[in-house]
Amino acid sequence: MHKLSLADIHCDTAYEMFKASQSFVDNSLSVSAKKAEIFEKYIQVAAIWSDKLLDNDSAYERFFEIVDYLARNIKSSRNTAFLQKCELSAKNNIIISLEDARILNGRISRIDDIFRAGVKFLTLLWSGETCIGGSFDTNIGLSDFGRDVVRRCIELGIIPDISHASRQSADDVFGICAEKIPVIASHSDSYSVCPHPRNLTDAQFSQIKQCGGLVGINLCSEHLGISAGVKPLCTIMAHIEYYLSLGGEDTVCFGCDFDGADTPHDFESIASLPTIAEEMARLNYSYELIDKIFFENAKNFIFKNIKL
């Protein structure tokens, strides 16, 4: 099989690097430049997670500490201007996202601060009810402040991410963003394949597809619905194939959640992902479709929708 490229739209490696004082170039984590050497081209969206052990303001300060750490270790600017120079022909293209916007703590001006720090994707929620609204484990929609946050995202060009959102919050996001900006689910599997409340309904997937968004396949074992006696690869393929059956050829990509979730033992780093491509080829997926899922869908989305 030809050499793969990879664009992954969600990992939690940045915070783990920071905590362990490790480098992106080579580390003991699931994502690193060295592990990515097997790919022809490589783009990584690095989610900076709002630590649940910290209060909102402390987690907000921690976010900037991690951004600074990334800037020093990856030796790239805090924005994605460097992508224009290489046009994704070089490796180690890192785009910053923020996971759990509770750290905005009711202050709309903080969105502009994180935007200046390089944030291009915003995962609005993580768990429970916050100043943004309700997460997947609630029946609550967006708060008034959460609605204002989404509107400011539209103005700035930050892409809203509904992974972890409640169904009510997701519906609110779709309503605000309609025909203004695409919506993504950076790391969300299919509810029809595994009925976990973190997963996407068919209707949600279709709305993301219709607005030109992305859905990243999450390798979290719990969200995949790994069953005893069933190979993890088969379960991963079940989610991919189901999304494709909904017309997701241009929508599906990877958002593996490495370094932020318990993944199957056969899939413990980005270096294990070619196994999925090999299975796709065995199932007679065209090289074009494999490249779309592994790289082209996310790459095309980034260049179409993110202000560089």
Question: What percentage of the chain carries pLDDT values higher than 90?
Answer: 83
What sign for the dihedral angle of Cα 52, 6, 31, 230?
positive
Q: Supply the mean pLDDT for the chain.
A: 92
* Residue 11 located in a structural domain: yes
Residue 83 amino acid letter: L
Contacts of 210 (CB under 8 A, 6+ apart): none
Per-residue pLDDT tens over the stretch 143-166 = 999 999 999 999 999 999 999 999
Per-residue pLDDT tens over the stretch 49-103 = 999 999 999 999 999 999 999 888 765 433 344 333 344 444 447 899 999 999 9
Report the predicted TM-score, pTM, of the whole model to 2 decimal places: 0.94
**Domain limits at 202?**
6-305
CATH code at 67? 3.20.20.140
Look at the block and give the residue holding tokens 């030809």.
2
DSSP category for residue 293: I
Question: What percentage of the chain carries pLDDT values higher than 70?
Answer: 93
- Name which of 154, 212, 165, 210 is nearest 187 in CA terms: 165
Q: What is the dihedral of CA 123, 119, 60, 129, to 10 degrees?
A: -20
Q: Is 26 exposed, middle or buried (0-12, 13-18, 19+ CB in 10 A)?
A: exposed
Contacts of 170 (CB under 8 A, 6+ apart): 162, 204
* Residue 189 located in a structural domain: yes
**What's the pLDDT at 227?**
84
* Residue 1 located in a structural domain: no
d(CA 294, CA 287): 10
**What's the pLDDT at 103?**
98
* Residue 229 located in a structural domain: yes
**What's the pLDDT at 75?**
58
Structurally, the chain folds into a number of domains equal to 1
* Residue 243 located in a structural domain: yes
Please, what is the angle between helix 109-116 and helix 144-156, to 10°? 40
Q: How confident is the model at residue 27 (pLDDT cuts 50, 70, 90)?
A: very high
Most confident of 20-29, 81-90, 119-128: 119-128
